[in-house]
């Protein structure tokens, strides 16, 4: 499968968030190829989006990567325990990004199971199988994505995205999750997911 180009990311986050569905996220880690289909995303629209870390032009060391060029990773820590993986979009100086909320494992499931549960893949329960990818913190554990990958070039050879296999699916638009503080922005239908996919975090 071909790797996504810089031009793919250099667009509005609402467009990229939808088009990321079905793409394959790959992390080459310690000799393992960990690959998973993206099944749920959220768009964050920068200055005017009250749910975005860059709302109002906020610019701190934490969010600086969002002000860089498109096609880089933005990884941050939440609740003192989980990482979240985002993809920076738009041209340099426009701080938009897409949060990857859920994945469906494709390759390296054994290593993902060890990363998440310290168990063999064959020993996982049904809920643990889904727990490999049905949430932003969970997928980061499974794929070994942490702050060391903040600012990683997604057009490189370590953490990157590929075109998925051609497939037809229906995209559902819904409210984003966990942003009740964001006033009217909490009601924007800027979360997108593949209908009837069991790995989607919130139906």
Q: Is the dihedral of CA 141, 102, 153, 109 positive or negative?
A: positive
Q: Distance (Å, rounded) from C-alpha 36 to C-alpha 67?
A: 27
> What is the pLDDT averaged over residues 141-159?
97
What does the pLDDT read at residue 166? Answer: 83
| 66-120 tens-digit pLDDT | 999 999 999 999 988 899 999 999 999 999 999 999 999 999 999 999 999 999 9
What does the pLDDT read at residue 203? Answer: 85
| 5-18 tens-digit pLDDT | 999 999 999 999 99
Do 36 and 104 contact (CB within 8 A), yes or no? Answer: yes
What's the chain's average pLDDT?
96
Do 103 and 38 contact (CB within 8 A), yes or no? Answer: yes
> What domains are there in the chain, each with its CATH number?
6-194 (3.10.300.10)
What does the pLDDT read at residue 183? Answer: 97
Q: Distance (Å, rounded) from C-alpha 162 to C-alpha 83?
A: 22
């Amino acid at each position: 499968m071909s790797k996504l180009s810089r031009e793919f990311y250099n667009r509005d986050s609402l467009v990229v968030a939808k088009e990321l569905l079905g793409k394959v996220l790959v992390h080459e880690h310690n000799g393992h190829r960990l690959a998973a289909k993206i099944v749920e995303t959220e768009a964050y629209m920068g200055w005017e989006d009250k749910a975005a870390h860059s709302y109002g032009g906020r610019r701190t060391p934490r969010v600086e990567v969002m002000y860089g060029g498109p096609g880089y990773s933005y990884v941050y820590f939440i609740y003192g325990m989980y990482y979240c993986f985002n993809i920076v979009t738009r041209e340099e100086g426009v701080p938009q990004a897409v949060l990857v909320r859920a994945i469906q494992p494709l390759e390296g499931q054994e290593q993902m199971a060890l990363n998440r549960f310290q168990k063999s893949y064959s020993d996982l329960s049904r809920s643990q199988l889904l727990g490999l990818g049905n949430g932003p913190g969970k997928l980061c554990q499974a794929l070994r994505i942490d702050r060391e990958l903040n600012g990683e070039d997604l057009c490189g050879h370590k953490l990157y995205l590929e075109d998925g296999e051609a497939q037809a699916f229906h995209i559902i638009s819904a409210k984003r999750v966990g942003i009740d503080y964001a006033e009217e922005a909490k009601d924007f239908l800027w979360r997108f997911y593949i209908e009837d996919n069991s790995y989607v975090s919130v139906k």
